[in-house]
Structure 1
Amino acid sequence: MDFELGADFAARRDERDPLAGLADRFYDPDDALYADGNSLGLLSADAEAALDSAVEEWRDLAIRGWTDADPPWFRYGEQLGARLAPLVGADPEEVVVANSTTVNIHTLVGTFYDRAEGSTVVVNELDFPTDHYAIRAQLRQHGADPDEALTVVESRDGRTVAEEDVIDAIDDDTAIVFMPSVLYRSGQLLDLERITETAHERGALAGFDLAHSVGAVPHDLSSVGVDFAVWCSYKYLNAGPGAIAGLYVNDRFFGETPALAGWWGHEKETQFEMNPTYTPAETAGAYQIGTVPVLSAAPLAGSLDVFEDAGDGSVRTGVEAVREKSVALTEYLVFLADELLDDCAVGSPRDPDRRGGHVAIEHPEAYRVSEALKARGVVVDFRPPNVVRICPSPLYVGYEDVWEMVQELRAVLEHAEYEAFEKRGGGVT
């Protein structure tokens, strides 16, 4: 893509952006330059309305909401899963919204480790920590020593993982390969198809954590043959803090009894017969554990309305349009960083096909730089040891926003404004 320096160029690009009008549907706190949508997406009027509607149904229908709400709460997880399925390239029955991301890792890894032929699980050292916590716990539950049964692929540069190293780590003793689709620090986008094909060739199963790609990168899980996947809904899906998570299970595994069986995953037709023996639903819905949390699921319904409108009625077309804009915005951000930020390095892959929706800007004082940016009204986040993550989330961030963000960052660096902030201690980052 050909980019130019200057606010005029950014303004022209925004004028031609078919998604630009969607930003008006999101609340912008304190008129901030919000670049943290890969950590928590903004509230949209659509998500707010969906939540308000669920509250009104609770008020007006009470218990009748399980059958008379729109849609009925009894099948809310399956209904939302069917709407979300096109974003990840799955059949409607293969997706359900349920539980939390970590709980979904527990139940899916626990289930498929039992049925796999091998005994090891392949992960990588740059995973988000909860993935390792859950997998190690499941290995212990199955009588395995995590230090022996967990194969951790090391990074060569501390930023990314060489896919060749992942491929080489998969052998005849591998039960499951479990990788993120996008690395949470650098934004590296892995090749799910290649990893899945290799896993299957060597008798292993392939699972993925899509937390940093769902809603920003289209996937084709079914056609690629991915066995299972998990994700959260509060990042690019903009469903709010604590929003219900989601999962995918390939239909060839329907009928399996989940490792963490719960009554909400029972087949719907006989669920209220209260039988003491569990009968799993013949869909991904079997992996629901407890009753669907309607009030934390409702905002997702509104958020999916935005994706449908981005794609002229199609969620799939919507996420493809979002991806196209995301690539353009992150390319523009990388261009500006190269041209204007002499003291920084770009820690994300240069190839847009290998990069997710955010850019890692590296600086030795990244924590204090991120604090100085927040003081200027630019909301970013820090990830150790030296990364300022900047996310131009396509539904509500434009080219002028990215230009202004980089100008603010340039000023922080040129005037050493970060020196006014204390070095990082403990606590939330």
Structure 2
Amino acid sequence: MHRSIITSILLGLAAGAVAALMLTLMHGLEALIWRGEAGPLRIAVTIMAGGVLIAMMRWRLPGANFDSQLQDGREGLPQPLSKAATLAGLGIVSVGFGGAIGPEAGILAVVTELSALISARIARDVAEARLIGQIGVAGALGGLYGSPPGGAGFANDAPDAPWPLLVLAAVAGLAGLLLAGAVLPEGPGLQLPLPPAPRFDLPYLLPALVAGLAGAVIGAAYVGGLLGFHRLLGAVSGDVRVQVLLGTALFAALAAAFPFLRFNGQHELAQLAEQGGTIDAGYLAGVGLMKAIVLGLCLAAHWLGGPIMPLAMAGAAAGAAVAVAIPGIDIGVATAAGVAACCTVGMNKPLVVLLVLAFMATTLALIPMTIGVLIGWLVAQILPDERLH
């Protein structure tokens, strides 16, 4: 047991530091590429250039995505160094060239390889190798999301999972990310800025339900778009490189017309938290819907990333639209419920979503988030189980 505790602490610290380093590389490339004013032509050309790079790397790893990275990490399977390097490059390019995705998958690629290298040297059996892999995942995502229980939930949601060790690794991962962030320019990991929410009382129940339903509808649009684009691109060509280029061309055209569709949505969330009550409800609803659909398009086109931050941005826009459209609804309550419902429908992991959002959000709004998660879970029951993150 002492051996497992020490492994959880040290590997968790290392995974958090790796997450901070990868974030710095991703956002450093993003700042370099998008420096200065970006007009429609520049946006389209830049995104297509990113698509070409992704297509070149994807021929070796056509099926890798966030879910497969999670599974590889959980199993503790050894990976060729070339595969880890290619996945890391895919993640960095996908984020840096403006993809409407989060950074999780690229970070997991590096941490999974680190865990496999450690496992090859110290693991005594398959069970310990699997535990080391789960510790790496928990440390990376616990640090990235700022949520130790959420990171542990992503690492292994099986009933017999070694939860105390995974939570310990996730706490260490958060510490590693914060320590690395103190010296790296990127600083802390992902944050979810939301408008402040009042103490939740019974009169807020109905508004939270309405906003949660709006967020769930946006989440359902993401699921439909993801599966629809995936099938459409697959029907056009069985060559993954052609799928990348076709999907990227559509994404480039949309982003050129609507520049806010680029990136993971964290900056737009901050703006929404400050000005959401003054923005037109129809515009907010349109932003949320388009962001969700473009997230599905990017993932179907094999850009490598995670879904939670773009889904959160889309759900927050849907909740804010409800607050603006219906007088008397508190925007903090509405955005919290909308975010939780949208993420739950999109990721189909209600408990993990709640654990992540409760820590990642800058505003504590646990009751409206719980209501949103419940609504999202109910809506998810009528949608296909398939998710292709």
Please classify the TM superposition score into its range, dividing by the shorter chain length: under 0.3
Q: Give TM-score, length-normalised by structure 1.
A: 0.24
Higher radius of gyration, 1 or 2: 1
Q: Give TM-score, length-normalised by structure 2.
A: 0.25
More strand per residue: 1 or 2?
1
More helix per residue: 1 or 2?
2
